[in-house]
Amino acid sequence: MNDCIFCKIVDGTIPSTKVYEDENVYAFMDVSPLTKGHTLLVPKTHVKDLFEMPEEVAANLYAVAPKIANAIKSAFNPAGLNTINNNGAFAGQTVFHYHLHFIPRYDETDGLKVKWETKQSEFTPDVLGQVAAQIKENLNS
Ligand code: 5GP
Ligand code: ZN
């Protein structure tokens, strides 16, 4: 896609700090990292988000995810690592070429908040069953 920043990074039109590349995926340093080692993994083919990702693209991308995670772990020995993928502007996506963030965590003051206030009381076992049924009905749509 001509106007996509990450397509331009993949084809070399825009410079990036490469971590890993194979025929299907490209991994590079986030230009505005949260922590040391914050890396992005993208498919070389333009895919807007997870909703539009063909299974083969997903298989190729996630096959590489442990390799990237373990390289970051070996390099920096973080206390933990979050992999985050935002789909849609409402969910925080700002670049509309799928990317998986690898964010190593060193301490609780790094500014990333991944805790949420649970709504468990609303989701009784009956409600959870109904919700699951709705998802199951739509698995192949
Ligand atoms: P999103 O908010 O879409 O999940 O994340 C987009 C990420 O891409 C951001 O963390 C941002 O710093 C990074 N980013 C945006 N433009 C560039 C760029 O030109 N080069 C690199 N390396 N990262 C970028
Ligand atoms: Zn793209």
32 lines ligand 1 (CB under 6 A): yes
What whole-number distance in Å separates Cα of residue 26 and Cα of residue 115? 30
Q: Is 99 a catalytic residue?
A: yes
The per-residue pLDDT for range 47-102, each reduced to its tens digit, is: 999 999 999 999 999 999 999 999 999 999 999 999 999 999 999 999 999 999 99
Computed over every residue of the chain, the mean pLDDT equals: 96
pLDDT (0 to 100) of residue 116: 87
CA–CA gap between residue 19 and residue 28 (Å, rounded)? 5
Question: Considering only 10-14, 93-97, 115-119, 123-127, which range has the smallest mean pLDDT?
Answer: 115-119
Reported CATH class of domain 5-112:
alpha beta
Cα gap 101→45, rounded to integer Å: 17
Contacts 24+ apart (CB under 8 A), 65-70: 65/41, 65/100, 65/102, 67/20, 68/19, 68/20, 68/27, 68/39, 68/41, 68/102, 69/102
Centre of ligand 2 to C-alpha 60, Å, is 16
What average pLDDT score do residues 116-137 get?
94
**Cβ of residue 28 lying under 6 Å from some atom of ligand 1:** yes
Q: If pLDDT is split at 50, 70 and 90, which confidence band does 113 have? A: confident
| Model pLDDT, residue 1 | 59
Domain ranges for the chain:
5-112
Instruction: Give every CB contact of residue 27 below 8 A, 6+ residues apart in sequence.
Output: 18, 19, 20, 21, 39, 40, 41, 42, 64, 68
Residue 8 CB neighbour total at 10 angstroms: 16
Compute, in angstroms, the gap from residue 31 CA to the centroid of ligand 1.
Answer: 6
Residue-level pLDDT at 68: 98
d(CA 36, CA 30): 10
Catalytic residue among 38, 46, 97, 99: 99
- Taken as a whole, the chain contains a residue count of 141
